[in-house]
Structure 1
Amino acid sequence: MTTILVTGGTGTLGRLVTERLRADGHEVRVLSRHAQPYAVDLRAGGGLEAAVAGVDTIVHCASSPRGGDEQAAGHLIAAARRAGVGHLLYISIVGVDRVPYGYYRSKLAVERLIEESGIGWTVLRATQFHDLLAQVFQALAKPPVMALPAGVPDQPIAVAEVADRLAELALGKPAGRVPDMGGPEVRSLESLARAYLAATGRRRRLLRVPLWGSAYRAFRAGGHLTPERAVGKGTFEEYLAARYGR
């Protein structure tokens, strides 16, 4: 039996990874800011020693677009080194090295910290989860006109499929950078938004808004996509049907 620590283990992805590993009979410790007995704010780092003691593998799912990921990773890596952890597995995002967006740059910096940590490591990059798109569309659909960035495609993937892959990687040896995971379809944001509106029974006029800046140009060019690694099975419509029952 392997002892595994999942950071962000109460989140959308971490919760599913935890469930899968426990179902296979492994001891899994859940680390988040409020989950006892391993309630740790990684940005502060206090309490990490007890969380990592005796751990074989860390699955690092904790992340925040509000900042602090690099500091959190630094604390985690230092504690993992001291505890002799043999494998550090990180979930990243497709395109972090191609899209000059602040959160992506932070994720890429964490990748580099892990690669240079001296710990056996694995990095998996995935495209955006269906859940994230639904959250974004929910916010954008509040006004009567739904404004979308013009010309931006997306390739959403089922979070459960990424959780399955992470659980598989956590039980293997450190593998370095593994092949990316992308959803089954590259779609326009407009088509995905229309699917969301249909599933939720809303009627909104769609407005395609041209934006500016290098990050927007990179998103328009598909820097966050991996069409050659469209390995996901579940479509956005299937996710919507399961969530909203339409």
Structure 2
Amino acid sequence: MTTILVTGGTGTLGRLVTERLRADGHEVRVLSRHSRPHGVDLREGGPGLDAAVAGVDTVVHCASTPRGGDEQAAANLIAAARRSGVRHLLYISIVGVDRVPFGYYRAKLAVEEQVARSGLGWTVLRATQFHDLLVQVFQALAKVPVMVLPAGVSDQPVEVAEVADRLAELAAGAPAGRVDDLAGPEVRTLESLARAFLEASGRRCAVLNVPLWGAAYRSFRAGGHLAPERAVGKGTFEAYLATRIRRR
């Protein structure tokens, strides 16, 4: 079996990828800012990053933040991977990063391009948004009596465990370039998803759809972040809510 480094290995996705890979018999190193022995801030790099990558066959790059710095983090990781002779760099991205002019999406697309130009064997998988993210958003919006949603926007959430399974499969294989997207089983309006969340959590909250403005909103409204032709995920939003949300 191979030695695999998972960046962001303590996060929502990275933790599950780590579990899958270890269950399959791989030696797995976890890199994050607070993990030990590989507590590294990828945006800063340094000797700790070189030590984490040394002797690694494959890197699964899950570390990411909408607060900025992904491109610098990728540059540092790629440089360390080159020095160490990493065979395979696998990156998880988001469906629609090339169609939606949203700041975080642009950064993810830039990292995809860095990976493709890295000179390493590489694979990029794009997935739609996780159920977990929608729930975090709805929980925040439901703190006031009226939940305000962007009018006309739909989503296609996917179960994070299914994305982890696919990444573990890809990590064990050869570099494959840009592979088929992984999207959830249903395209749903944000309002229908929000009402499902409110029902499952027992919250009482009005829902108001409000038109917004800007190129990013128009792209989301047009479905640039969706992949209905790749609706291969199995887990529905209601199934997620049934196991993860406790009624108030």
After TM superposition, the score normalised by the length of structure 2 is: 0.99
Counting aligned pairs with the same residue, the percent is 81
C-alpha displacement of 1:244: 1.9
C-alpha displacement of 1:153: 0.4
Equivalent residue number for residue 140 of structure 1: 141
**1:89-125 Cα distance to aligned partner (Å, 9 max, x none):** 0000000000000000000000000000000000000
Equivalent residue number for residue 167 of structure 2: 166
C-alpha distance in 1, partners of 2:246/2:67? 32
> Is the counterpart of residue 12 in structure 1 residue 17 in structure 2?
no
C-alpha displacement of 1:176: 0.1
Equivalent residue number for residue 68 of structure 1: 69
**1:21-78 Cα distance to aligned partner (Å, 9 max, x none):** 0011110000000000000000000211100000000000000000000000000000
**Which amino acid is the alignment partner of residue 19 of structure 1?**
E
C-alpha displacement of 1:245: 5.0
C-alpha distance in 2, partners of 1:7/1:57? 11
> Is the counterpart of residue 24 in structure 1 residue 24 in structure 2?
yes
C-alpha distance in 2, partners of 1:184/1:164? 16
Equivalent residue number for residue 36 of structure 2: 36
**1:165-191 Cα distance to aligned partner (Å, 9 max, x none):** 000000000000000000000000000
C-alpha distance in 2, partners of 1:214/1:118? 34
Write the mapping of 1:1-246 to structure 2, written as runs, cut at 5 A. Answer: 1-46=1-46, 47-245=48-246
**Which amino acid is the alignment partner of residue 162 of structure 2?**
E
After TM superposition, the score normalised by the length of structure 1 is: 0.99
Structure 1 gap segments, 5+ residues each: none
C-alpha distance in 2, partners of 1:86/1:26? 15
**Which amino acid is the alignment partner of residue 54 of structure 2?**
A
C-alpha distance in 2, partners of 1:86/1:195? 44
**1:222-244 Cα distance to aligned partner (Å, 9 max, x none):** 00000000000000000000012
Poorly superposed stretches of 4+, deviation over 4 Å: none
C-alpha distance in 2, partners of 1:173/1:92? 18
C-alpha distance in 2, partners of 1:202/1:113? 44
**Which amino acid is the alignment partner of residue 69 of structure 1?**
D
Structure 2 gap segments, 5+ residues each: none
